[in-house]
Amino acid sequence: MATIVNAEAFLVDLEVETVRTDAVQSFVKQETIFVEVTCDDGLTGLGYSYTIGTGGRAVLSLLREHLIGRLIGRDSRLVEAAWQDLFAATRATSVGAITSLALAAVDTALWDLRAKRAGEPLWMLAGGHRERVPLYDTEGGWLHLSTGELVTGAVAARDAGWPGVKLKVGKPRAHHDLERLLAVRQAVGADLDIMVDANQSMTAAEAIRRAALYEQAGVFWFEEPLPADDVAGHLRLARSTSIPVAVGESMYSPAQFRDYLQRGAASIVQVDVARVGGITPWLKVAHLAETFNVMVCPHFLMELHVSLVAAIPNGMYVEHIPQLRAITLQEMRIEEGHAVAPDVPGLGIAWDRDAMDIRRVA
């Protein structure tokens, strides 16, 4: 047994490291929800999830009032059993964002504990496919940036050896999107992957129209063109364009991914470990995608996703959006355009506990 004797949930607010805008919103702050689990032998695991400005206290309340207490006395090694028990205890509020974010904070803490107990880094314990994974940059592609700024960011990424960049789309006029994309393509040449992200801002008809324009820039994928619950619309789009359709950051259960994959409505899976409910369901989605010969390129949380993408055979990319530097002691390693998975036991994130305490709000 490795019995859990204590579990704590708390909230840390992180200001955004740079201005981030897309077609529907701005990144206000990162509400970071932590769960720390301690076992009777003194070993601890620290996990987390997040929101981008609202709902963090609701997640914290669900954890404190309904979930944390159910961990006490459990064998921490039985991660799947714990996940299923907590999910069953929240049936009245699942499937949904608040519940999935709460489950993710617990589940990542248990995986951190599991990997530490095994003496293995997460990427190896979760599958162990490769240690380095390709990296693409989003920080230079926000919607408020000028065309010149987009070009500068993309050229810098290319010159640093990164294989891809992502640009936000959804300007009021489609030709403005196209002008920006073509300017970047002309500047970087044909070898750099250019992804575009509409953040669920379009109708199916508009996405189909814009995809036809975006094809001129050799776009690598078209991300979240429509609301996540519009599976039929994504299918229409996928059938109308040569650009792969990428979805997943706004899905909260493996079953939602199954619907997209079965219907052929997604060519790239962007499952987010926090939003899907933790590492346990994340791996299920990744392996499901593999059976459909679909690649996985997760959304955000690069410090955690680097290990998960390294664990699986169908991991294609990690997204570069640094947001934990204020509360960590070291950054994710980047070598020759690749993110390098940590080789220390556990999640491999070097938390700065003093900095976290300073920013703790609940």
Q: For residue range 34-52, what is the model confidence (pLDDT) as tens digits?
A: 999 999 999 999 999 999 9
Burial class (CB in 10 A: 0-12, 13-18, 19+), 330: exposed
Q: Is 287 a catalytic residue?
A: no
Predicted pLDDT at 27: 87
Give the pLDDT mean for 283-289.
Answer: 98
Predicted pLDDT at 326: 96
Q: Which tokens hold the place of 130?
A: 């490769």
Nearest to 32 by CA among 57, 51, 7, 8: 51
Q: Which tokens hold the place of 295?
A: 């690649």
- Out of 166, 168, 234, 305, pick the active-site residue: 168
Residue 17, H or E segment: none
**Tens of pLDDT along 55-104?**
999 999 999 999 999 999 999 999 999 999 999 999 888 889 999 999 99
CATH tag for 124-340 (out of 3.40.109.10, 3.40.1160.10, 3.20.20.120, 3.40.50.80): 3.20.20.120
Which residues have CB under 8 Å from 157's CB, separation 6+? Answer: 136, 137, 140, 164, 165, 192
**Cα separation of 180 and 154, whole Å?**
12
Looking from the CA of 277 toward its CB, the CA atoms found within 13 Å total: 24
- Out of 299, 305, 320, 338, pick the active-site residue: 299
**Predicted confidence (pLDDT) at residue 53 exceeds the cutoff of 90:** no
| Alpha-carbon torsion angle 227, 16, 45, 282, nearest 10 | 20
| Average pLDDT along the chain | 96
Beta bridge partners of 13: 31
Beta bridge partners of 29: 15
Domain boundaries, the chain: 4-119+353-359, 124-340
Residues of the chain with pLDDT > 90, as a percent, come to 94
Q: Which tokens hold the place of 232?
A: 């039929």
Q: Is 305 a catalytic residue?
A: no
- The CATH architecture one would assign to domain 4-119+353-359 is 2-Layer Sandwich (3.30)
